[in-house]
Structure 1
């Protein structure tokens, strides 16, 4: 999809272990990623972790691309089947999203918002999904700001096993309203 804000073609493809493991391992070792993802593991540990994620049927792993350049990593998941489903009244088709910009040359360029909007459109293309949830680390002010710009509304702080999180929800209506106000 061509994003008006960036005049760029944003696409997503599913993670392929053979093609992406080394790149994803490197991205998870970037200084801006480590505090929020905690996956600065050895390659063998990370490879085992990634293989586990790829066989987990409640989520899909994506590589986000800008004009064909691989720049980001995404996880979309069914919230009810995820740990977050224990912390709120999850509907059967609520989806959730995690993301990181891995390629450091793309940091600070305002790309997280259009990329998030793009994947949210993809998630909401499932007509059964009325809400998308996110639970960014409370210290990650930049991502919280991006989520708000895309229509997410903070609900409450949560203590999750791996972080102190701000639980946020975006309804289909809030997302569509936010998209049309950006035009």
Structure 2
């Protein structure tokens, strides 16, 4: 079972250095990466992965979408480039309460590597908004996931996990906006998928609210090994009503 979705408004974090450096080098690298990202000139670009299996496809090659907050795109995670920022987000208390991946970089690295070296049923991505990496996503085959043991899964059900890093991205409806955008991307790029699903922790009321505002419906309460979750579903058939 993958970690629960951290709340899209309360999960915070910011760019962190990569590799092992001294304190001065670390500070310089962090400032350089964050400045480039803010200028829209960072190294985060959507490059297709020619070796990506077709269980989920290649979300990193999906076209950017225009949102009220700016242009948004999913970018496939590069472990060497992105481990620092993802690990730092995972260590934010608001994120750690639901993802349980806090600790040294090796913890996040192991979680990412299992997906990157797996069979393609789960694809980790950065969410880049206006040229700035500000969220972490997992697009996964829910019908091939342990989650499928706990609800009536259908073939090609596609799940999403999300955390948002950066205090400036909280409390402005960004989570709802991006959940809607990503669920639309899934349905547009995966014609065999009839439903996008998620399973946020029931205790995380703001997260459940964000999914509801993004067009998901509350389908059931499910007991998972690590939490009691709200099963949220976005149906392709209901898109026209939103």
Question: TM-score normalized by structure 2?
Answer: 0.69
Matching residue within 95, 98, 107 for 1:45: 107
Matching residue within 71, 76, 86 for 2:149: 86
Instruction: Answer yes or no: is the 8 Å Cα contact 2:221–2:228 preserved in 1.
Output: yes
Q: Deviations over 1:158-180 (max 9, x none)?
A: 221222211111101223422xx
Instruction: Tell me which structure has the larger Cα radius of gyration.
Output: 2
Residue 37 of structure 1 deviates from its aligned partner by 0.7
Tell me how many residue pairs correspond in the alignment. Answer: 176
Which residue in the other structure is 2:6 paired with? none
Instruction: Answer yes or no: is the 8 Å Cα contact 2:122–2:140 preserved in 1.
Output: yes
Per the alignment, in what secondary structure is the counterpart of residue 91 of structure 2?
A: coil
> How is 1:159-178 mapped onto 2 (pairs within 5 angstroms)?
159-178=223-242
Instruction: Answer yes or no: is the 8 Å Cα contact 2:137–2:161 preserved in 1.
Output: yes
The unaligned stretches of length 5 or more in structure 1 are 179-183
Instruction: Tell me, in whole angstroms, the C-alpha distance in 2 between the residues paired with 1:175 and 1:50.
Output: 32
Instruction: Answer yes or no: is the 8 Å Cα contact 1:28–1:37 preserved in 2.
Output: yes
Please say which of residues 18-27 and 48-57 is displaced more in the overlay. 48-57
Q: Please identify which structure carries the higher strand content.
A: 1
Instruction: Answer yes or no: is the 8 Å Cα contact 2:125–2:137 preserved in 1.
Output: yes
Q: Deviations over 1:76-100 (max 9, x none)?
A: 1111111111112211111010101
Residue 144 in 1 paired to residue 214 in 2? no
CA RMSD of aligned residues (A): 1.3
Residue 144 of structure 1 deviates from its aligned partner by 0.6
Instruction: Answer yes or no: is the 8 Å Cα contact 1:150–1:175 preserved in 2.
Output: no
Residue 138 of structure 1 deviates from its aligned partner by 0.6
Which residue in the other structure is 2:20 paired with? none
Q: Deviations over 1:55-84 (max 9, x none)?
A: 232111111111001000001111111111
Instruction: Tell me, in whole angstroms, the C-alpha distance in 1 between the residues paired with 2:164 and 2:239.
Output: 22
Residue 155 in 1 paired to residue 219 in 2? yes
Structure 1 moving runs of 4+ over 3 Å: none
Instruction: Answer yes or no: is the 8 Å Cα contact 1:155–1:169 preserved in 2.
Output: yes
Instruction: Tell me, in whole angstroms, the C-alpha distance in 1 between the residues paired with 2:240 and 2:175.
Output: 18
Residue 128 in 1 paired to residue 163 in 2? no
Ranked by relative contact order (alpha carbons within 8 Å, sequence separation 6 or more), the top structure is: 2
